[in-house]
Amino acid sequence: MALALRPPRFQPLPAPIPASTASTTALAARPSSSAHAIICAAAASPFTEATSSSRYRRDAWSYAASDGDSSSSSAAAAAAAASSGRRDDEIALQLPELRRLLEALRASRGRGAEGEGGGGGPGRVALVGTGPGDPELLTLKAVRAIEAADLVLYDRLVSNDVLDLVGEGARLLYVGKTAGYHSRTQEEIHELLLSFAEAGANVVRLKGGDPLVFGRGGEEMDFLQQQGIRVEVIPGITSASGIAAELGIPLTHRGVSTSVRFLTGHSRNGGPDPLYVAENAADPDTTLVVYMGLSTLPSLAPKLMKHGLPPDTPAVAVERGTTPQQRMVFAMLKDLVNEVKSEDLVSPTLIIIGKVVALSPFWIDSSKQGAQSIENLYAAETKR
pLDDT tens-digit series, residues 139-191? 999 999 999 998 999 988 898 889 999 998 888 888 886 655 546 788 888 98
pLDDT at 120: 59
In contact, 293 and 322? CB cutoff 8 Å: no
- pLDDT at residue number 281: 82
> Are 232 and 279 contained in the same domain?
no
Percent of the chain with pLDDT over 90: 41
- Burial environment of residue 369 by CB neighbours within 10 A (0 to 12, 13 to 18, 19 or more): exposed
Q: Which of 52-61, 256-265, 309-318 has the lowest mean pLDDT?
A: 52-61
Q: Are residues 245 and 219 part of one domain?
A: no
Between 195-204, 250-259, 328-337, the lowest mean confidence (pLDDT) is in 195-204
Answer whether residue 243 shows pLDDT above 90: yes
Q: Is residue 198 part of a domain?
A: yes
Domain total in the chain: 2
Q: Is the pLDDT of residue 117 over 50?
A: no
* Residue 28 located in a structural domain: no
> 135 with 181, same domain?
yes
What's the pLDDT at 130? 96
User: Is 80 exceeded by the pLDDT of residue 279?
Assistant: no
Reply yes or no on whether the pLDDT at 334 is more than 50.
yes
Cα 243 to the center of its chain, rounded Å: 11
Selected residue with higher pLDDT from 14 and 111: 111
pLDDT at 264: 87
Q: 265 or 302: whose pLDDT is higher? A: 302
Question: What was the pLDDT predicted at 56?
Answer: 55
Please give the pLDDT value at position 127: 98
Query: Which stretch of 60-64, 89-93, 201-205, 298-302 has the lowest confidence by average pLDDT?
Result: 89-93
Handedness of CA 336, 341, 346, 347 (dihedral sign): positive
Give the residue numbers marked as catalytic.
155, 177, 292
* pLDDT of res. 336: 96
pLDDT number for residue 284: 93
Q: Are residues 165 and 293 in the same domain?
A: no
What CA–CA distance (Å, rounded) separates 136 from 46? 14
Res. 96: pLDDT tops 60:
yes
Structural domain of 264? 240-365
Q: Judge if 274 and 349 occupy the same domain.
A: yes
Is the pLDDT reported for residue 15 higher than 80? Answer: no
Mean pLDDT computed over 318-325:
92
Mean pLDDT of 273-288: 77
Looking at every residue in the chain, the average pLDDT score rounds to 75
Let me know whether 140 and 212 are in one domain: yes
Task: Judge whether residue 37 has pLDDT over 90.
Answer: no
Query: What pLDDT is stored for residue 265 in this prediction?
Result: 81
Residues 6+ apart with CB under 8 A from 113: 119, 120
Residues 264 and 130 in one domain: no
22 lies in a domain?
no
Say if residue 245 is in the same domain as residue 338: yes
Highest averaged pLDDT of the listed ranges 11-25, 73-87, 156-170, 262-276:
156-170
Q: Kindly state the percentage of the chain with pLDDT values over 70.
A: 60
- Domain end: 237, 258, 280, which one? 237
The pLDDT of residue 23 is: 32
The 3-state secondary structure of the chain, one letter per residue: CCCCCCCCCCCCCCCCCCHHHHHHHCCEECCCCCEEEEECCCCCCCECCCCCHHHHHHCHHHHCCCCCCCHHHHHHHHHHHHHHCCHHHHHHHHHHHHHHHHHHHHHHHHHHHHHCCCCCCCCEEEEEECECCCHHHCCHHHHHHHHCCCEEEECCCCEHHHHCCCCCCCEEEECCEECCEECCCHHHHHHHHHHHHHCCCEEEEEECECCCCCCCHHHHHHHHHHCCCEEEEECCCCHHHHHHHHHCCCCCECCCECEEEEEECCCCCCCCCCCCCHHHHCCCCEEEEEECCCCCHHHHHHHHHHCCCCCCCEEEEEECCCCCCCEEEEEEHHHHHHHHHHHCCCCCEEEEECHHHHHCCCCCCCCHHHHHHHHHHHHHHHCC
Say whether both 98 and 216 belong to one domain: yes
Asked if the structure places residue 159 within a domain, the reply is yes
pLDDT at 312: 95
Q: What is the rounded distance in angstroms from the CA atom of residue 69 to the CA atom of residue 54?
A: 21
Task: Single out the residue of 5, 3, 2 nearest to residue 27, CA to CA.
Answer: 5
Can you give the CATH number for the domain in which 297 is found?
A: 3.30.950.10
Kindly tell me if the per-residue pLDDT of 252 is higher than 70: yes
| pLDDT tens, residue by residue, 180-225 | 554 678 888 898 899 889 888 899 999 999 999 998 999 999 999 9
Residues 328-355, mean pLDDT to the nearest whole number: 95
* R_g of the chain, CA atoms, integer Å: 23
Closest-CA residue to 195 (of 164, 145, 141, 150): 150
What average pLDDT does the segment 258-272 reach? Answer: 75
| pLDDT, greater one: 125 or 48 | 125
Sheet with strand 35-39: strands edge to edge: 28-29, 35-39, 327-332, 314-319, 349-353, 286-291, 259-264
pLDDT band with cut points at 50, 70 and 90 for residue 250: very high
Do 176 and 282 belong together in one domain?
no
Better pLDDT: 261 or 371: 261
* Residue 100, domain member (yes or no): yes
